[in-house]
Amino acid sequence: MIKNQNLLLTVILICSTVFADLSSDNIENVLVSASMIPININQTSKSVDIIDSSELASSIATDITDLLRNIPGLAVSQTGSPGSQTQIRLRGSEANHILVTIDGIEANNAGQNDEFTWGTLSPNDIERIEIIKGPQSTLYGSDAMAGVINIITKLPNKPLELNAYSDIASFQTTNTGVNFGMQRERGSYQVGVSNLSSNGANISRSGKERDGYENTNLNIKSYFILNNQITIHGKAHRTFGFSEYDADFDFDSIIDDADMHARFKTDIAGIEVGYSPIYSKWNHKLFVNDAEHSNQDYADDIIDISTTSKKRQLRFISSFELNNPINRFSVLFEKEDEDYSQKGPVNDFGEFGIFDPNYDSKRDVKSIAAEYRSQIKENLLLALSKRHEKSSAFKNSETYTVEVSYSLNEMNKIRVLYGTSTKNPTFTELFGFYTNFVGNPDLIPEEALGWELSLDTSMLNRSVESSISIFHSDLINEIDGNFIDPVSLRYTAINKFGKSKRQGMEWSTLVKINNDLEMNWSYTYTDSKQPKMLENYERELRRPRNLGSLRVSWKKFNKLDLRAEIQYNGSQLDFAYPDRISMPSFTVANLSTVYFFNDNLDIYFRFDNLLNEKYEEVFSYKAQGMSAKLGVRIRL
């Protein structure tokens, strides 16, 4: 990897010279959540990818993860059909190292090992998605070790809006929704309701039983200006449904066809109050957030394990503008309380022991953080942040981040990020009990130190824009959930000795061929490895070394929007007891078309897995074959 890094540094220096004299328009100022106070995307050194409203509308994807597969650095592992368990890893991290927020409210599910349940959100209610990469613990705490995915829902942009959509698809899938909104001079609100239902496909290698899925979403968002000093944001989101799945009953690592399903419900709500005194450079924001998750697993309609979790969060951010909006000092005070409950039947395994999954736990975290951002020169930005976190369950921790952004000229910018991060053990890792997994209450937090070096370039009057990054992270105390306990002969979680290393390179390029046609491609190389013994290392599971995507978008006559994409997933390792096995690479092609009939009506269709590729992202879980959907959107 050292040779690759040296080569990349050479490329960066060459590109800086080649593009030094090119000129273009100013970079679009898009606000992102890469700081305590939202900042313009060109004011941060962090790598940020945005899936905007145009991309969401034109891709007409049913599953958010279909869009995330195009983002460099993100690896998706799905256990079969849409709606099934899905894990997303960022730059070789573990899936629970990514914090997912919905309108700023933390939405990770403690009952699912602190991972986000990706099948519970409808893309149709989303305005944009921000993917912020690298260590984010100083801003967001332990759950943001590898990055943050911030999902921002819609608000109306007209005095009165009524939108509806309905589509039908393969596997007896229906997707219907409606949202209504009003915008006034001193505020606005929007309400959206949607339902997705599918009979699904058989995800196991044997049998014919389909694994279906249903999900209902309710989303409410509001914004009010009380006076010249006080603003109030209100957000609430509810999702509930069920997902059918299969399991490995005989512990041979091959998934068996089974009549099993999980029911889920998630409620998140929050209030954000902003206070900006007149004639003052101080700004204050108070956030009160609440998230509740409920999950029940059933086998042959008999309830097995169930979990409930609650997270209550109180955040106060005070920011002082030093001499202009770019130069500011901010301080954060945060308190977070978590409750966790797990229920289920007691299991007597004879000589291997009696396992009681029933457990209740509480923990809280108090944090204080500070951030300083400054434009030292016209072309040089600096940001420093530090966080102290006091936990009732684990040792106190401190994290910090250093950002430097230097513009070589109008067309080239170098970004540097260096920082530390932590991840506390999850309730599942500590106390979980699922089929053949038993928790370990003696786990300690994971800690990481990482850096990245990036170059953003533009040429030909911004008709070509490219970004290339190299990244590296050292992780200690990595939690490995695939350890076989020698007493119970069941899986458990342990802290590994030594350093785990995640390093690699991302490259993305956008080419605007003309006003109607553009191409976007990305490539990611990731080398993620964990200590095996002494100085030896082994590749980590479900982290493909090579990922790539190519997207082509063609628009014509302001009526037709045609998009084709090819997604490549390189070979990766998975676990089939007692061996680590190599999973073959695969390539998936998708096609979508939207015809804008008039100002009030769109007609669209989409083909997923157009060439009907046969593959598995997780060992022995079959991915869904080719599917097609046809639908309409109405705007009034």
CA distances from 606 to 57, 99, 131, 340 (A): 12, 30, 25, 41
Please list, in sequence order, all residues whose beta carbon lies within 8 angstroms of the beta carbon of residue 533, skipping any fewer than 6 positions away.
none
Each residue's pLDDT tens digit, 468-522: 999 999 999 999 988 887 777 778 999 999 999 999 999 999 999 998 999 999 9
DSSP 316: E
Write the pLDDT tens digit of every residue in 161-183: 999 999 999 999 999 999 999 99
- Minimal CA–CA distance to 258: which of 212, 198, 304, 207? 207
Among all chains, which residue has been given the structure tokens 């997933």? 569
Query: What are the tens digits of pLDDT across the range 45-89?
Result: 999 999 999 899 888 988 889 899 999 999 999 998 888 889 999
CA distance 403 to 412: 17
Domain 2-635 part of CATH 2.40.170.20: yes
pLDDT of residue 9 exceeding 50:
no
| Closest alpha carbon to 239 in 211, 261, 212, 220 | 220
Q: For residues 142 and 445, is the Cβ–Cβ distance under 8 A?
A: yes
**pLDDT tier for residue 24 given thresholds of 50, 70 and 90:** very low
Cross-strand pairs, 402: 384, 418
Backbone φ and ψ of 18, nearest 5° = -65, -40
pLDDT at site 432: 86
Per-domain boundaries in the chain: 2-635
Query: Residue 144 in contact with residue 369, Cβ under 8 Å?
Result: no
- Taking alpha carbons only, the member of 98, 136, 141 closest to residue 116 is 98
Cα angle 319, 323, 329; round to 5: 25
Instruction: Name the band, by pLDDT with cuts 50, 70 and 90, for residue 11.
Output: very low
